Amino acid sequence: MEGGQGPYLYSVDKREYLDFVSDYSAAFYGHSNPAITEAISSALSPGFSLGSVTRKECHLGERIKGRFPSMERVRFCNSGNEANTYALVTATEFTGRTKILVFDNGYHGDTLNFGSGDNKLNLPHDFIFGTYNNIEANQKHTSSDLAAIIVEPMLSAGGQIPFTREFLSFLRKTADVTGAVLIFDEVVTSRLHINGLQGFHKIMPDMTTLGKYIGGGLPFGAFGGGGAPTSWLSMRRELGN
C-alpha cells in the first residue's frame, strides 16, 4: 500500500480499496485522521527519544489509569505482544513459579500464539492449556503452582468469542485461591467499553495489557496493575533503559 485516507487505502499500482480491516480495528478513526496526525506532530515537535519520562507520557499514564481501574501503575512499551511478555515475566518473578494457564485459540502476539498447531515462535514458558468457558474442564488447573493466568476477555483472533462473566469470575477466584497473577489481555477488548471488558464485567485482574490502538495505531503498548505483583514498576532503578 502507498497510503490511506479515511476509509480508503491506495496501492502502489494506483488502485483504491475500501478498507474493512482498518488495521484490525486499530485504525477505527480512519487513515490519516487529521486529529491523530496533529497530535503526533505536536508530540514530536519538542523533540523525541529524550531518554527520560516526558510530561505527555505522564498525562497519558493518568488517562489510562482513569479508564482502567486495575492499572494503578503503568509501564509503556512497543507493542501488545511486548506488553504481554512483560506481564508474564512479572508474574513468574513475583510468584517464583513457572506454570502459566493459557487457553486454546488464544492470541497474545506472535510469540504467544495458541491457535491450532505448534507455533515455533512461542516463548519457552511452561504453558498449561485450558478450554474457554468450561469451568468443569478447568478445575484440574486450580493447583497452587500456577504463576499466572492470561486471558483475553473475548477471544479475538480465535473467533470473536466472548468469555462468560461466570467463567471470568471463576478465573478471578482461582487466582485468589492459588496466588496466581490474573492477567487480562485487553489489547483488543479494551476498545469495546470505556473501562475495557473488565469494567463491563466488573471483574478486576491483577494486571492488564494494552496495544497499539491506544497509540493511534503506532507501535505502542502498555501494561500495569496494582498491589504487590507490580510494585517493581517504579522509575527508581539503579540501572535501566
By annotation, the residues acting in catalysis are 107, 185, 212
The order of strands in the sheet holding 8-10 is 3-5, 8-10, 16-18
C-alpha grid cell, residue 151: 486471558
214 and 186 Cβ atoms separated by less than 8 Å: no
Placement of cell 486450580 in the chain: 142
* Secondary structure (3-state) at 209: strand
CB atoms within 10 A of CB 64: 18
Rounded to 5°, the CA angle 147-119-129 comes to 40
Count CB-CB contacts under 10 A for residue 94: 21
